[in-house]
Structure 1
Amino acid sequence: MSDSETNLKLIGYWMSKKKLHKINWTEFRNTSRKYGYELKEVDLERPLETQGPFTVFLHKLTDIIALASQGDSKSQNVIDRVEQYIKNHPDLIVLDPLDNVRILLDRCRSYNIIIESNLAQYGVFTPKFVELQSSNSTDNLYKLKEADIGYPFLCKPSVAHGSTSAHKMSIIFHEKYISDCFKPPCVAQKFIPHNAILYKIFVVGDKFFIVERPSLKNFYACERETIFFNSHDISKAASQSTLSVLDPEDLQLQIVQPEMSVFKCIVATLRQALGMCLFGVDVIIENNTRKYYIIDINAYPGYDGYPDFFNDLMQHIHQLSNNGSQLPSEDIQCTSTINQ
């Protein structure tokens, strides 16, 4: 290693093997060195003190945090080691703080953040929801009625990460199929017709990029059987699911064109409320009311389709190392127009 390389600051990173395989490491390494940083994969089975010192800790620990919260002792030991290292190094830049990430592992907590924000004044909401904590159909019907959630509604696991079932969902159309709700705890969320269009906002510090993806077609109350699906299969860039094909009567509906100013408000508000730099927001627009609805928020998403992601990431890390604040600036920027 050359003298210039030995002076590079160290970014310790940990991600799942699946996420690691998707990264262009040559591009990432070259970009990080341009900003004065070297990359080093963290071995979570060993003390972090022997692997640093790190200037930055970049991670996707969501699944391990979720497993730890469910009582998995091995995962808890890993998180304890990481948190102890962070505590011992208060100047360490962590993307993102583990306590902040924990919020997004619980769908109800993340939805309540939206409700408690000022986004409603910009026409941005989250669909009505209720957490179901019982397998008793009578109890669940009562909770749905009490929360004013009609049919159809989406049923999702309450835990947004930590298992292969986190993205398995269902659409329940009638009360006689209420027993199709997932094993509790799960979230029942009112279905909003949105013409099968999903807007994924990818946030990197004070910059964001919007990708248009396919989504569920318009569904209405009826007595049809429950539909089970995996949300990843519906909203992939090249997805051709039949669940995204509009019915003939919906083809004439006018598509609502999104306003960039609203997306900017969403990013600025959630950056402040979450205290995070790397997250994704799934947004739909209701056909008739033109209201915006946030249906999910994800920690450190895949950033598929985000142009020059590594440069924006390193710019943000460089900014954090200079001013130390993870709070958003007043200059939230969209890096490009909506991309399909």
Structure 2
Amino acid sequence: MAELRRRYAIGYALAPKKQHSFIQPSLVELARGRGVDLVPIDLGRPLAEQGPFDCILHKLYGESWKAQLREYTERNPGVVVLDPPEAIERLHNRISMLQVVSELRVPQERETFGIPKQIVIYDQFALSDAGTLGALRFPLIAKPLVADGSAKSHKMALVHHRDGLLKQKPPVVLQEFVNHGGVIFKVYVVGDYVKCVKRKSLPDVSEEKLECLEGSVSFSQVSNLTAAEDREEDKYYETMHLDEAEMPPLSFITEIARGLRQAMNLHLFNFDMIRDTKVGNRYLVIDINYFPGYAKMPCYEAVLTDFFLDIAHKKSNDQLD
């Protein structure tokens, strides 16, 4: 009689919108066929009463949820939590988020990497102080300090002149805008798996053009340019061919991804990277997100199923890093 294959239970706790986008029937069916059962965690019941789970996959926040996870892992020390709440919280602050990039010790030969120059402003008065910016040069990207996935945390602006700063609401991170050819590289990380894709980004801003632009413009306005004076940007996107943009070497981004995964103690994240047009082999990491929209990634069902099995096997062999 053939030996029954061990099945693995992955309990998931996600907000409704995240669950709808990530837990697709195609993922559930593929995983089930390979011995992985994706089991919804009932948020109306104590976590301690549910399971047993080999792994808990989550993207929920708050002290109550953290306490439930803590209690569950104390009762079930063999359960893998993807990922630790304390590690995720580092990405909720845009300064601590990118600090880890500056601390990476990754070999840099032909290609180099870093982060843009940036400062954080905590009060409104500092925005009107001429000395606040220091060495930062316009244009600037203004981002809320808190990056918790809320609608408020996504409200960003491209600030062209000093008067545009006065519209910003502290605490805010001011990041020097770097011309990057209108292309952003989104690097998805799933354990050891790394996938880089290209996306359109904000167009370059020349010195001449900077003098003619208004104080600031929100990102939603930049991505929906309809005014007559913005037709030049429309033409920019029409003439830009995304497929012509050269991808960064896979070995290079894989090294960065591995370094970030180990430094942050996270298995599921993506990071946004741009290439400085002034220094063609210089890349800048501008954002890191926990548990991004993997359903947009090609063949995400197979990638995630492989990852779940890898986690389960490492757990069985006590090799999980």
Structure 1 equivalent of residue 166 of structure 2: 179
Mapped partners of 2:131, 2:150: distance in 1: 29
Q: Distance in 2 between matches of 1:204 and 1:321?
A: 14
Letter in 1 for 2:215: E
Secondary structure in structure 1 of the residue aligned to 2:262? helix
* Total equivalences in the alignment: 300
The range that moved more, 41-50 or 124-133, is 41-50
**What is aligned with 1:69?**
none
8 Å contact from structure 2 (residues 188, 195) kept in 1: yes
Matched ranges for 1:246-261 at <5 A:
246=236, 257-261=247-251
Partner of 2:181: helix, strand, or coil?
coil
2:277 is equivalent to residue 278 of structure 1: no
Tell me the residue number matched to 2:123: 134
Residues 1:267 and 2:266 are matched in the alignment: no
Distance in structure 1 (CA, Å) of the matches to 2:49 and 2:125: 51
Return 5+ residue gaps in structure 1 as ranges: 66-74, 235-240, 328-340
One-letter amino acid matched to 2:167: D
CA contact (8 A) 1:196 1:245 kept: no
On the 8 A contact 2:104/2:259 being kept in 1, the answer is yes
Give the 3 Å change call, closer, same or farther, for CA 139–81 of structure 1 in structure 2. farther
Alignment-derived partner of residue 44 in structure 1: 43
1:95-118: per-residue Cα shift (whole Å, max 9, x none)? 112111111111111111011112
Whether the 8 Å CA contact 2:274–2:284 is kept in 1: the answer is yes
1:36 Cα deviation after fit: 2.1
**Partner of residue 59, structure 2:** 60
Counterpart contact for 1:137–1:179, Cα < 8 Å: no
Q: For the residues of structure 2 that align with 1:231 and 1:299, how far apart are their CA atoms?
A: 26
Deviation of residue 35 (structure 1)? Answer: 3.2
Residue 19 of structure 1 and its aligned partner are, at CA, apart by: 1.8
What fraction of aligned residue pairs are identical, expressed as a percent? 28
CA distance in 2, matches of 1:315, 1:16: 24
The 8 Å contact of residues 255 and 287 in structure 1, kept in 2 or not, is answered as: no
Alignment RMSD: 2.9
In structure 2, the gaps of 5 or more residues are 225-230
Partner of 1:214: 200
Instruction: Please tell me the residue identity of whatever aligns with 1:54.
Output: F
Give the letter for the 1:179 counterpart.
L
Looking at structure 1, the residues matched to 160 and 70 of structure 2 have their Cα atoms a distance apart, in angstroms, of 44
TM-score normalized with structure 2 length: 0.83
- Aligned: 1:298 with 2:289: yes
Measured against aligned partners, the alpha-carbon deviations of 1:136-193 in whole angstroms (never above 9, x if no partner) come to 1456543321xx2110010001111142111110011111222122x22111111010
1:51-200 superposed matches below 5 A: 51-61=50-60, 65=61, 75-119=62-106, 121=108, 122-137=111-126, 141-145=130-134, 148-181=135-168, 183-200=169-186
How high is the TM-score relative to the length of structure 1? 0.79
Q: Residue 228 of structure 2 aligns with which residue? A: none
User: Quick check: 45-54 or 127-136, which moved more?
Assistant: 45-54
**Amino acid in structure 1 at the alignment position of 2:190:** V
Match of 1:237 in 2: none
- 8 Å CA contact 1:128–1:149 kept in 2: the answer is yes
Distance in 2, matches of 1:262 and 1:308, equals: 22
* AA matched with 1:197: V
1:288 aligned residue: 278
- Please identify runs of 4+ aligned residues in structure 1 that moved more than 6 A: 247-251
What amino acid sits opposite 1:286 in the alignment? D
Q: Cα–Cα, structure 1 residues 41 and 255, in superposed 2: closer, same or farther, change >3 Å?
A: closer
User: Which structure ranks higher in relative contact order (CA pairs < 8 Å, sequence separation ≥ 6)?
Assistant: 2
